Amino acid sequence: MSPSALAFTASALAAAGLVAAWPPERPSGTTPTPEQLAWQDLEYGMFVHFSINTFNDMEWSDGTLSPSTFNPTAFDPKQWARVAKDAGMKYLVFTAKHHDGFCTWPSAYTDYSVRSSPWRDGKGDCVREVANACREAGLRFGIYLSPWDRHAPSYADNAAYDRYYTDQIRELLTNYGDVMEWWCDGAGGEGHVYDWAGYYRALKQLQPSCLQAIAGNSDIRWVGNEDGLAPDTLWNVVHVDGQPYWWPAECDVPLRRNWFWHTDDADSAKSLDHLLDIYHRSVGHGAGLLLNVAPDRRGLIPEADAARVRELWDTVCRLYRLDMARSRACDASSSTPLHPARLACDGDPNTYWRAAEGDARPWITVKLGDTRRIDRVVLEEYLPLGQHVSGFRVQCFDGDEWTNVFEGTTIGHKRIAVFAAVPAQVVRVRLQTEAGTPALRSLGVYLGEE
């Protein structure tokens, strides 16, 4: 087929809406693995800190608390999973072991675990029940296994501890089904040398699609604070020793002041406004959000906390209920044959608009059909082709003139731009790139406030 016939066929296919990924577009630059891509699409998860600290009003205990204190009266991770689902969360990461070394599963490698507790006569296994509850509810499951261990005697000997930690990786990745995220941090243990490369190898041998988060040779990076906030400019590609890596960021933050449940911090739960701000500055800046909700001594998420996270999701759903750009007429400075502008507004996450190579000033417009009041625009890049946008400007035409309403830097997985409400007939987004050709998976237009 001649090139012009190919282009004709391509545009006919595009016009008919048959624009799946054929022929595959050439990505430019560094791109995510399929697992990273799937993780980025989850956007929002629940962190659950629940262990021996819960029963002792502690955040960091030193490995000497008696296992006899661990005794939830109504342990029910199905309730956690229900809360997470109702709150719009797509995954859950559970503390199998915190810094104190207490194991919430009956590890074969230590007695400092639920097996030595009175809970269910020492026959309980929190990790199993949490994993099963997540699976039943359709939540992806993750495990936090703290490298810093203040109980294990082997911790004093690097090589012995590496064996211990690796044995526990093996237990947890062999006996509990799919683990989507392996969460480990560098807190405490300063001066201790961990065999991060060995842990990563063990992890990938056992479950190649499991993503290591935060510390060590991770697939997901820590955003750098525990406030739940990603910076305005967030690149997924980070250079390590001069080599580019796709390294998406996760924001972790507790709902209350502390990570574990305490007797005296119920009134420290973040307000709805605060949580909404966190959502907009994490997910809305292109990062993932892992919000911690702490079960109490019953082993249940307190009703007030459950209500707060549900309220957050209800609000997000209300703000982003009606996309005024959906299926509206689009235009662009240029496009590639199979990827015309309208694919940014078709609501299909697998299609995208891509500007033509060499387009130095790409822009896309969407006609809203009428004059509408709008106060937010949601943009997403099509990440299988890489992240390219380094700057963007949102402009509105009210029937008379164009006004600039928002200027931002990166887009990446998602960018939520909120501005004072304005009337608009046409919305235009101008893009700037440092290198490569931008591809927009989504352009949404909303009115949230009012």
Characterise 434 by phi-psi region: left (phi > 0), alpha (psi -120 to 50), beta (else): alpha
Determine the Cα–Cα distance for residues 401 and 349; give it in Å rounded to an integer. 32
Site string for ligand FUL, 209-248 (x = CB under 6 A): ----------------------------------------
Contact, 297 vs 55, CB < 8 A? yes
Q: What's the angle, vertex CA 364, arms to CA 408 and CA 366, rounded to 5?
A: 105
**Considering CB under 6 A, how many residues would be counted as binding ligand FUL?**
6
C-alpha distance from residue 67 to each of 62, 116, 150 (Å): 13, 6, 14
Determine the Cα–Cα distance for residues 16 and 281; give it in Å rounded to an integer. 38
To the nearest whole angstrom, how small is the minimum distance from the Cβ of residue 148 to ligand FUL? 8
Q: What is the DSSP letter of 324?
A: T
Toward ligand FUL, which CB reaches closer, 167 or 185?
Answer: 185
Containing 244, the helix (H) or strand (E) segment is strand 243-246
What residues contact residue 277 under an 8 Å CB cut-off, 6+ apart?
none
Site string for ligand FUL, 410-439 (x = CB under 6 A): ------------------------------
- Say how many Å lie between the first and final Cα of the chain, rounded: 54
Toward ligand FUL, which CB reaches closer, 102 or 352?
Answer: 102
Of positions 100, 125, 171, 252, contacts ligand FUL by CB under 6 A: 252
Toward ligand FUL, which CB reaches closer, 187 or 421?
Answer: 187
What residues contact residue 132 under an 8 Å CB cut-off, 6+ apart?
77
Toward ligand FUL, which CB reaches closer, 51 or 442?
Answer: 51
To the nearest whole angstrom, how small is the minimum distance from the Cβ of residue 224 to ligand FUL? 12
To the nearest whole angstrom, how small is the minimum distance from the Cβ of residue 379 to ligand FUL? 30
User: Which two tokens mark 361?
Assistant: 């000033």
Toward ligand FUL, which CB reaches closer, 201 or 221?
Answer: 221
User: Which two tokens mark 373?
Assistant: 């009041």
Cβ-closest position to ligand FUL: 187
Q: At 271, give phi and psi (nearest 5°).
A: -75, 165
Contact, 112 vs 122, CB < 8 A? no
Toward ligand FUL, which CB reaches closer, 225 or 350?
Answer: 225
To the nearest whole angstrom, how small is the minimum distance from the Cβ of residue 226 to ligand FUL? 7
Chain residues 2-21 in contact with ligand FUL, contact rule CB under 6 A:
none
Of positions 259, 353, 392, 397, contacts ligand FUL by CB under 6 A: 259
Toward ligand FUL, which CB reaches closer, 252 or 381?
Answer: 252
Toward ligand FUL, which CB reaches closer, 254 or 448?
Answer: 254
Determine the Cα–Cα distance for residues 104 and 129; give it in Å rounded to an integer. 11
To the nearest whole angstrom, how small is the minimum distance from the Cβ of residue 263 to ligand FUL? 18
Of positions 25, 41, 86, 185, contacts ligand FUL by CB under 6 A: 185
Toward ligand FUL, which CB reaches closer, 252 or 346?
Answer: 252
Q: Is 58 in the site for ligand FUL (CB under 6 A)?
A: no
Of positions 38, 187, 418, 422, contacts ligand FUL by CB under 6 A: 187
Contact, 388 vs 29, CB < 8 A? yes
Contact, 245 vs 31, CB < 8 A? no
Residues in touch with ligand FUL (CB under 6 A): 59-60, 185, 187, 252, 259
